[in-house]
Amino acid sequence: MARILVIEDDQRIRELVCQHLAGDGHTTTSESTGLDGLRAATADPPDVLILDLGLPDLEGLDLLKMVRSVTDVPVLVLTAREDELTILAAFEGGADDYVVKPVSGPQLSARVSALIRRGGADKADLLRVGGLEVRPGPREATLEGQVLDLTAKEFDVLAYLAARPGTVVRKEDLHAAVWKAPAGTEGRTIDVHLSTLRKKLGEKPDDEHRYLHTIIGAGVRLQAPED
Ligand code: CA
């Protein structure tokens, strides 16, 4: 379970979010102003930061950049603002996820869990799935000892999937994580990259002995063939 800091000026929402996440077993703390939030995030970085953009003292996007300058903590922006420019600016500013209020409890739980997994996974030195090895630090991937010649985005896609072996990852989540772009803008980009990645892994879609599995309507899964 994780330590979560909630920066939100609306007392009712702050309490609801904290209570809900505490119910999931997380430890929550909260601040109601941007400055206090920044102080708390800096003094003792949480595992996940939930950030409201409409704060009384600081512009939320500015606060996000300040937080980013001191810590890599996964940030989930939870806000009433739903205009495209703000969403793009938030991802540009370093947000890991963006949710427009109101959000359901189960969805909040799921998004926070995903950020916790990602935060932990990114710290890993080596991700191993069967004969596939991915090293996020030097950005190197090998299959059965052979170095894979991947583009930057292909590597990011593979690393993201390798951090979640056996899990069906939604294409929009993969796109949001790798391209830092909001859901709904993924288009064919993901499919094109999965297709080139599959070729570089030496796989065909109908191969039984393969790592990459596309689940129609659900997403994509990386799994060791013998699993
Ligand atoms: Ca607010």
Q: Residues 149, 85: one domain?
A: no
CATH of the domain at 134: 1.10.10.10
Per the structure, the complete domain to which residue 36 belongs is given by 3-120
Question: In the predicted model, what is the mean pLDDT of residues 40-49?
Answer: 89
Q: How confident is the model at residue 120 (pLDDT cuts 50, 70, 90)?
A: low
Together in a domain, 9 and 105: yes
Same domain flag for 136 and 101: no
CA dist., res. 178 & res. 157, Å (int): 6
| Domain of residue 97, CATH code | 3.40.50.2300
In a domain? residue 227? no
**What distance in angstroms lies between residue 14's CA and the mean position of ligand 1's atoms?**
10
The number of folded domains in the chain is 2
Lowest mean pLDDT, pick from 60-64, 75-79, 142-146, 166-170:
166-170
11 plus 106 within the same structural domain: yes
80 closest CA partner among 46, 47, 43, 55: 55
Ligand 1 centroid distance, CA of 91 (Å): 19
Buried-exposed string 114-148: b where 16+ CB fall within 10 A, e elsewhere? bbbebbeeeeeeebebeebbbbbeeeebebeeeeb
42 in the same domain as 59: yes
Q: Are residues 109 and 71 both part of a single domain?
A: yes
Report the separation in Å between the CA atom of 95 and the middle of ligand 1, taken as the mean of its atom positions: 17
